[in-house]
Amino acid sequence: PARYFDTKTTEPISFFLSSLEELLSWQPDSNDEFNVSAVPLAKRQPPLHSKRPRTLVCHDMRGGYLEDRFIQGSATRNPYVFYHWRYIDIFVYFSHHTVTIPPVCWTNAAHRNGVPVLGTFITEWTDGERLCEAFLAGGEEAYRAVSEQLARIAQHYHFDGWLVNLENILSAAAVGNLPPFLRHLTAQVHSAVPGGLVIWYDSILQSGTLKWQNELNEENRVFFDACDGLFTNYNWKEEHLQRTRALAGPRNTDVYVGVDVFARGDVIGGGFDTDKSLRLIRQHGLSAAIFAPGWVYEHLGEENFLHNQNKFWALLAEYLPTHSICTLPLATSFSLGMGTSRFLAGKEEEAGPWYDLSAQEIQPLYPEREGKLSTSCCLQDAWSGGSSLRVQGTIPAGEERVAIRLFSLQMPAPPKVFLTLLYKLEGSHPDEFAVSLELTTSDSGTCHEGNVTSLPEPNGRHHPRFLPAPPPSLAKLLAACDRGSHGWTSRCYELELQDCSLRDLSLLVSRQQPRPQELPFTCLLGEVRVLDAASAAAAPPQVQSLAASQLWWQ
């Protein structure tokens, strides 16, 4: 069927629903199994419901369902990718189709990095008016059928809820049923999807008039009270934020103040001035909804996209609280889910562009310090997948080393940790540098490294012991501890800890010889792993009842 398979190539594709009839007649279908996300939502700290201000990203690009609709990837050159997951809380996939089901590749990539994904339920113009009349103006049976179907769809495809965006006028009968519809939808989503969310877009007033308020006020509060959050329109000024904060009370972080990166209309700042909007939003303790950050790709062009993407998010980093990983194992080769080649064990296996966000790996923090440090993606060389992480910086004059924070962690440390690192130094004098990993622990008075008689580390910085060969139980997993290939260096380490909490994983770049002048370096990271020794040594569970379906031989 054309909904599930591309008519030209027969490849499975992601799809949307275009009408109320399609929504109400939707059923799970064996043809759409490709669209079910296979990646559970990773845990992270702090959890979504903590009281700190959140960041929502609303992805709206050229109508949606572009190359990202190909579930098994495509040979796209210079595709759009997003990878600053550590800095955001919620990802919304937006299009102007009535029921926007997020393409499964986005759900997979977001979930792997701990970010929930929302689809969009939208009605607009006179068609939208008719659609709303059809399900809202009647009795509760009609709107309950819609909310039950929306919850079933999120549950079936394993995404996390809905942005509800009704942008048309409503009759008195329809608007009267809108709050109970939102309450029912929210309850249904909460029971069908653990941690599910329903967010309302600021458009309709309680009278049924279509009039964007750019704030939470008495005219739209009834809808905010009926669901998990309000996404405001974009044309606000500081007084709107003050009134919103006062009215939201303890639910201040459930208001997502809209920021249009394209800066349409009368806005505080978009583009590379988006930080001006964010600064004000955070001053008032509110959450932010960043709309169409694909501006860096659509407006500034595809050629320099990765550079502009890093610049855009680095400018906002001050206002984006980051998230910590809270489970082991942590293993990543930093692949963005795209590339100009495919690499395996440091060797180029296949040249040519590819794009598959489902293959994106866990993404690190992307620290930037003006002129001192930059982290970016390197497509020209990788250990595995399509890219490695390029870390460029300078060891300052008079200092021996520099630590580059890759991941924030928040979990009790297991008694013994194994770490592995694959790296490559670029430049004419790679022998001037030593590269290793550093783990920091949060300062608990009882935290010890090694045996009980040793003193607690005063600053909680641990430099794991280098292992020239892997322990026999892990020989398979850690195969090449001091044997890289194709110019990559491989290293294994171990660290024994007692009563500690893990806090940061950093890359340590040190000088081999003390010298007075500053020393610039460029290091590619191909893979990093942090393993709990006990569970790494345990035999992996055997796979049960394997079945294959939807085979297409060519």
Within a domain: 322 = no
Same domain, 397 and 357: yes
Checking DSSP bridges between strand 489-498 and strand 465-467, what pairing results, if any? antiparallel
Q: Collapsing DSSP states into helix, strand and coil, what is residue 352?
A: strand
Round to whole Å and give the CA distance between 31 and 438: 48
pLDDT at 527: 95
DSSP string, 385-415: BS-EEEEEEEEPTT--EEEEEEEEEEEEPPS
Round to whole Å and give the CA distance between 406 and 425: 17
Mean pLDDT lowest among 428-432, 453-457, 536-540 = 453-457
1-31 pLDDT, tens digit each = 888 999 998 899 999 999 999 999 999 998 8
Same domain, 186 and 257: yes
Same domain, 298 and 365: no
pLDDT band at 482 (very low <50, low <70, confident <90, very high): low
Above 80 in pLDDT, residue 470?
Answer: no
Mean pLDDT lowest among 65-74, 189-198, 443-452 = 443-452
pLDDT at 453: 44
Task: Find the mean pLDDT for residues 429-433.
Answer: 86
Same domain, 361 and 297: no
How many Cβ atoms are within 10 Å of 527's Cβ, its own excluded? 24
Phi and psi at residue 279, to the nearest 5°: -60, -45
pLDDT at 452: 47
Within a domain: 317 = no
Within a domain: 318 = no
Same domain, 386 and 489: yes
Same domain, 347 and 213: no
Task: Find the mean pLDDT for residues 385-408.
Answer: 94
pLDDT at 537: 78
pLDDT band at 454 (very low <50, low <70, confident <90, very high): very low
Q: Looking at the 3D structure of the chain, how many domains does it have?
A: 2
Above 60 in pLDDT, residue 455?
Answer: no
Same domain, 364 and 229: no
Same domain, 302 and 337: no
Same domain, 246 and 194: yes
Within a domain: 486 = yes
Task: Find the mean pLDDT for residues 374-384.
Answer: 95
Within a domain: 321 = no
Task: Find the mean pLDDT for residues 345-368.
Answer: 96
Same domain, 298 and 371: no
Within a domain: 46 = no
Taking the C-alpha atoms of 73, 78, 84 and 89 in order, what is their torsion angle to the nearest 10 degrees? -50
Round to whole Å and give the CA distance between 406 and 397: 23
Domain holding 190: CATH number? 3.20.20.80
Above 70 in pLDDT, residue 479?
Answer: no
113-154 pLDDT, tens digit each = 999 999 999 999 999 999 999 999 988 999 999 999 999 999
Above 50 in pLDDT, residue 63?
Answer: yes
Cα–Cα–Cα angle for 401, 406, 408, rounded to 5 degrees:
115
Domain holding 370: CATH number? 2.60.120.260
pLDDT at 450: 64
Within a domain: 286 = yes
DSSP label of 6: -
Same domain, 394 and 348: yes
* pLDDT above 70 as % of the chain: 95
Above 50 in pLDDT, residue 230?
Answer: yes
pLDDT at 554: 67
Task: Find the mean pLDDT for residues 379-404.
Answer: 94
pLDDT band at 443 (very low <50, low <70, confident <90, very high): low
288-311 pLDDT, tens digit each = 999 999 999 999 999 999 999 999
Contact (CB, 8 A) for 128 and 168: yes
Task: Find the mean pLDDT for residues 384-394.
Answer: 96
Domain around 434: 330-446+458-537
Contact (CB, 8 A) for 334 and 388: yes
Above 50 in pLDDT, residue 449?
Answer: yes
Give me the half-sphere count of Cα atoms (radius 13 Å) on the Cβ side of residue 283.
12
Task: Find the mean pLDDT for residues 460-470.
Answer: 83
Distance of CA 89 to the CA centre of its chain: 8
Same domain, 181 and 242: yes
Within a domain: 91 = yes
Mean pLDDT lowest among 171-175, 252-256, 344-348, 458-462 = 458-462
